[in-house]
Structure 1
Amino acid sequence: MTASVDPNHSLLFETLWTPPAGEEAPVYTIRLTNLGATPLAGFVLCFSGPARLQAGAAIENGRLVRRFSNHSTIAPPDGFVLAPGAVWEASSRQLSYPLRHWSDGARNAYVVTAEGTILPARVLPTVSTVAENAPRRGTARAPVPLNAPQPLSIVPWPKEVAGIAGGQVPHGLALANGPAAAAEAADAFRDITTRLFPGEGLVRDIHQGGLPVRFAERAGEVEAYRLDFAADGVLVTAAAPAGFLYGLITLGQIFRGARRHPATFLFPVAGSIEDAPRMGFRGCHLDVARQFYASAEVKQFLAILAWNKLNRFHWHLTDDEAWRIEITAYPQLTEKAAWRGHDLPVPPLFGSGPFPTGGYYTQDEVREIVAHAGRYGIAVIPEIDVPGHSFALLQALPELRDPDETGEYASVQGMPNNCLNPAQPKAIAFMETVMRELAGLFPAGILHVGADEVPLGAWSGSPLALAMLADLAGADAAKAHARHNNVETNHDGADDIEGAPTAVLQATFLRQVHASVKALGCVTGGWQEAAHGGVLDKASSYLIGWRDVPVSARLAQEGYDIVVAPGQAYYLDMGQSTDWNEPGAGWAGSPSPRDTYDFDPVEGWTGEQLAHFKGVQACIWNESMADRAIFDRLVFPRLSAIAETAWTPWEQKDWDRFIVNAALMPNLYGHWA
């Protein structure tokens, strides 16, 4: 595979979207313009983005050579020559994932010549043929008014604020010596503020204008704190490093608000704040499989989580598109499955391009990031998503498949044969080894095993799996499952396998994985589908409810500990409205920041159900986020909206106050609308 640098080969790739109208099907149109001086013949065009053609889709003025999930290869008509200055236009009306927003279109494209040379194309944002095209990028924030609903800038809002009186705004905060727990928090606070607000000098010595901040210990909850304000300084009282850190973060937010907007916000010289979180589990998930985030990005994001007083980082390390963590027993995983590219085991997806793209974390880097998070009061939860979502893994380790398996099944995302086989002993041994290595890297003692979106037809062509199914559920069940072989079973939304033979096989796999996790002294996390078959020990596991709002309450009623994270409210990859110009996905809905803020995760729950409520979690999936300005737009301020729900008593929430204060919260990449 070679890249052409010949200026005679210059290509422009454009995509256009015409949504359905009446009985007219939608149209996805591609245009390839030859801007060079050399004609092109005998080539194929490859492109990828969230939009997905149907398998076997008809192409007008072309031919579908291959559709692999969101990556498509098409060819022009036989004998076609793309002359200099000419345009080849082709289109299709058959999509399994249609476009809802401009970011759904192709993000990368390249031509492969008859000689096998790769010619990258310049790609423009997808254009709607029926809407004004003005793609939005960067975080939108409300203006800070002269008269804010509250004179203190704090997110999330504290439990109790009393007797506040304003005075002179200091130039910074001088952190005094204190007990060991306070010193640990002070070091973390210095690091966070230096990362998030470089150049502001938020922490400074008294001789440089810093206001004295003193510390005192008291018994109580580890995340609770108290601030007492006086003209000569501030006293922070807490029981543990997390409480001291959260008190300092609140103080830092107050200071920044008053310093940056002195006509709107004040800095107290009297009064107090007494505070503690509403929920114990305040989480954020980050998918690093679809798009890779380097260690520096992850550390910066952890600082933002801490600034929002979030305390769980769910690290989605594997998926169909990549494997991102070093496992010493299986070096093939990072050698082969951490990279995507043309003619690699995993093809270009979601705009990753023809040349090797990706990355992974070494175990030393993981230890460093986990320790970094711990300083910020954040527990890191790794996810190895199995048995589904395992295409990249199986490309790296094909010996984990049934060698006699035939036929093809596909996930809802169009990934072929992407599930670890419950009847393959090597697959079980693999998971035991991986879990053992992870347990040594993640001291929080929680290992998330995924268990979501296994296709209905999974393993339907595997003699090993069918024999296992016959033993477990009878010959008729095995025969019924075999009829799914080479049948397209995925449909709109994720496959629902409840009550199907597939669920029996998944439960068998999960029972063994859960047993190995328990043997390591760890808790098993899973998406809601991990409940299939009832094989989890509820005392050593928890589930994340994601598909709809009622499911979390139903699972809590069954006795599962639940983290609430419905796609309709807490999936931050969803567009913020149905407007074409907003980026993001749309299959679960279009929650605005106000929708996310107003969502009550336990509305209508009974006392019995609330006993199993652990907390809430934001989920950041990354199909749309090759453009980091899209990340900033989609994640902020909705991440802070979820953080306030997780921390602030419901009766204390106030949207008008929140959205003004959110304007001072940091984003990750500095892209602002």
Structure 2
Amino acid sequence: MKNRFSLLSLLWTLLIFSGCSSRQVLSSDYNVIPLPVSISLQEEGTPFVLKPSTVVYCPEGDSLLLKNAELLTGYVARQVGFELRITHDDQARNIIRLGSGLQAENAEAYTLVVTPQAVEIEGASAAGTFYGVQTLRKSLPVTDGKVRIALAPVRIEDAPRFSYRGLHLDVARHMFPVEFIKKYIDLLALHNMNMFHWHLTDDQGWRIEIKRYPRLTEVGGWRKATLVSHWEKPDHKYDETPYGGYYTQDEIRDIVRYAADRHVEIVPEIDLPGHMLAALAAYPELGCTGGPYETGTRWGVYDDVLCAGKEEVYEFLEGVFSEIVALFPGRYIHIGGDECPKTRWKSCPDCQAFIRSHGIVSQGKRTREEQLQSYMMSQISDFLGKHGRKVIGWDEILEGGGVKSATIMSWRGTQGGVDAARNGWDAIMVPYQYLYLDYAQSRDEGEPLSIGGYLPLSKVYSYEPLSGELASNPEMGAHVIGVQGNLWTEYFRTAELVEYMAIPRVDAVSEIQWTRPERKNYEKFLGRLNRMRALYDRLGYGYASHGFDEGQSGDNQDM
């Protein structure tokens, strides 16, 4: 089929070229990332010719499709070199029509049909139409505008495998300008991802303005130094330079709007009760010892956490989350729950008195302190539930018995997701062995300093979220709602390093999220991946160039 399509493309190109000698004619290629469910090439018919006079139609009064149309014209202008006009006249000639009336069970489904006269993108929602737009743009060559482009007649039917398709970015360790956050969101959109997990607070920095508690950013937003070598080495070094900053609420609102235009929901994370040293530095009365504390300068886990035995801590958290809810209209709020030592709680009079007064007891292997953490997480979950939000937590929240209605983010492996599904809770699979993009992309001597380990592209691509019990038990498997790639930034101070660590592994993550396993093939993926390089270059993204050829080594057993 491939050879036959190539011959047809050549014949169509020659045919068009004979009538358009003033312009070169290039062909489209529908083998994009992530790979659609079905690509049915039509063996008969001439191609649709994309040219400067082509128009983009959307129904008048439909603001969501109008935004899709505006984005499409921008994509084409940057990628192909000429700008298309938007029209509300669906009878115009040489037209790309956008619609959202597709009848499908999956609200993100779309069809893309190319005929000699038109390109029809019909989504089951505006989001589905947007993913059709992404497939169209990735089908186009990257060129300079002095061309016409032949789109072969085709029918593409497509819908995502998982409803939650996420990419994470930690800005607590190192933060990045607003314009880069938008560029990162554009990277999600390019790959049909719909969830941006924004890790905003940690021991080393509080990055979001909370008006009720201004010291969170005035004090907790700054640390006195930053590690410049691996933190576990005994001779680790600091730069001794103060580091800090935060996003204002106006900047947050702007980013939220930008993401929504691209059908990306932002999932903010305020990590608790551990990873709160920056907050304790700002408000030491929230800790068990009363301090003094200082914003963390090393990476890793700290014993000082929020005091779960003080009522003012719960008041503080409700005050913070009241502002978070007002800023982020999405369905989910991430409340962390990972890596919380119970050292302080075991010796804290307030925590122990709280345990007794609330009748918190150990249950089996679960200690009273683990049950105390579940109590705290449940209180915040209930508070957010009253505001119409669902909570996500790292898989450690299962250790105290879990939090009612929480979605579990399984990062320490896959067992957390299995346990959650077995108990009827939703899960998002983010096992670090496959999906933590802060591990090295290669063993090259020039590889940037990272957390350690080696996670090649081939191993990322090999991950299958529904295996074992999740595959054999469909009822359990249905609770796995998605997959996410995580990028922590302890060792990545610049946006260029973030892009280097993300790309091209983000392409592999997107196929895990979107493409059915029977459609996946690593060697064919590498061929499609190499077409992405020109687009990354045109869009100004950096990347690990060796990653595009990494599949030759076959070495993927280090993590």
* TM-score band w.r.t. shorter chain: 0.7 to 0.9
SS at match of 1:544: strand
Q: Distance in 2 between matches of 1:413 and 1:455?
A: 15
Helix, strand or coil at the partner of 1:512: helix
* Range with bigger deviation, 242-251 or 463-472: 463-472
Whether the 8 Å CA contact 1:394–1:400 is kept in 2: the answer is yes
Partners of 2:371 and 2:401 within 8 A in 1: no
- Which of 38, 43, 47 is the matching residue for 1:160? 38
1:365 correspondence with 2:230: no
Q: In structure 2, what residue type is equivalent to 1:457?
A: T
State how far apart, in whole Å, the 1-side matches of 2:82 and 2:189 are: 16
More divergent stretch after superposition (279-288 vs 516-525):
516-525
Which residue does 1:53 correspond to in 2? none
| 2:448 corresponds to which of 562, 578, 583 | 583
Give the corresponding residue for 2:265: 379
* Displacement of 1:607: 1.6
Q: Distance in 2 between matches of 1:296 and 1:626?
A: 16
Counterpart position of 1:290: 173
Say which of 653, 657, 664 aligns to 2:524. 657
The alpha-carbon deviation at position 506 of structure 1 amounts to 1.4
1:473 is displaced (CA, Å) by: 7.4
416 and 542 in structure 1: CA distance in 2 versus 1, 3 angstrom threshold? closer
Identity %: 31
Cα distance per residue 1:606-644 (max 9 Å; x no partner):
223112111101111111212444322221111111111
Deviates more, 1:497-506 or 1:524-533: 497-506
Among 307, 322, 328, the residue aligned to 2:205: 322
Provide the residue aligned with 1:557 in structure 2.
Answer: 422
Separation in 2, partners of 1:559, 1:636: 35
After the TM superposition, which residues 170-569 of structure 1 pair with which residues of structure 2 at under 5 Å, given as runs?
Answer: 170-171=50-51, 174-178=55-59, 180=62, 181-191=64-74, 193=75, 198=78, 200-201=80-81, 203-205=83-85, 212-216=95-99, 217-220=101-104, 221-256=106-141, 267-341=150-224, 347-349=225-227, 353-403=239-289, 413-470=299-356, 499-538=366-405, 541-569=406-434
Note the alpha carbon deviations across 1:419-451, whole angstroms, 9 max, x for none.
Answer: 111002111101011111111111113111000
Q: Residue 112 of structure 2 aligns to a residue in which SS?
A: strand
Deviation string for 1:272-291 (max 9, x for gaps)? 11111111110111101011
Higher strand share: 1
> 2: CA distance between counterparts of 1:365 and 1:206?
30
Report the secondary structure of 2:209's partner residue: coil
C-alpha RMSD of matched pairs (Å): 3.4
Q: Are the aligned partners of 1:391 and 1:415 in contact in 2 as well (CA < 8 Å)? A: no
Q: Conserved in 2, the CA contact under 8 Å of 1:255 and 1:267?
A: no
Deviations 1:493-524 (A, max 9, x none): xxxx9734431221222122122111222111
| 1:122-141 residue CA offsets vs partner (Å, 9 max, x unmatched) | xxxxxxxxxxxxxxxxxxxx
Unaligned runs of 5+ in 2: 1-5, 10-27, 88-92, 230-237, 546-559
Q: Which whole-Å CA distance do the structure 1 matches of 2:86 and 2:343 have between them? A: 67
Residue 632 in structure 1 maps to residue 496 in structure 2: no
Measured in 2, the distance between the counterparts of 1:511 and 1:339 equals: 30
Answer yes or no: is the 8 Å Cα contact 1:439–1:520 preserved in 2.
yes
Count of residue pairs the alignment pairs up: 489
Structure-2 residue corresponding to 1:16: none
Whole-angstrom distance in 2 between the partners of 1:534 and 1:623: 31
Q: 1:206 to 1:623 in 2, by over 3 A?
A: closer
Aligned residue for 2:486, secondary structure, equals: strand
What amino acid is the match of 2:130?
L
**1:323 touches 1:334 (CA, 8 Å); kept in 2?**
yes
CA apart distance, 1:229: 0.8
SS in 2 for 1:228: strand
Asked whether the 8 Å contact 2:287–2:304 carries over to 1, the reply is no
Consecutive unaligned residues of structure 1, counting only runs of 5 or more, are: 1-145, 342-346, 478-496
Could you tell me how far apart the structure 2 residues matched to 1:426 and 1:252 are?
Answer: 52
The verdict on how the C-alpha distance between 1:571 and 1:407 changes in structure 2, with shifts beyond 3 A counting, is closer
CA displacement at 1:356 relative to structure 2: 3.6
- Asked if 2 retains the 8 angstrom alpha-carbon contact of 1:411 and 1:454, the reply is no
Matched-pair contact (CA < 8 Å) for 1:407–1:461: no
Q: Give me the TM-score of the superposition, normalised by structure 1.
A: 0.66
Q: For 1:292 and 1:356, locate their aligned partners in 2 and report how far apart those are by CA, in whole Å.
A: 13
Please state which structure has a larger fraction of its residues in helix: 2
SS of the aligned residue for 1:309 comes to coil
Deviations 1:234-284 (A, max 9, x none): 111123211111111111111136x59x9xxx8433121111111111011
Quote the offset at 1:657 in angstroms. Answer: 2.4
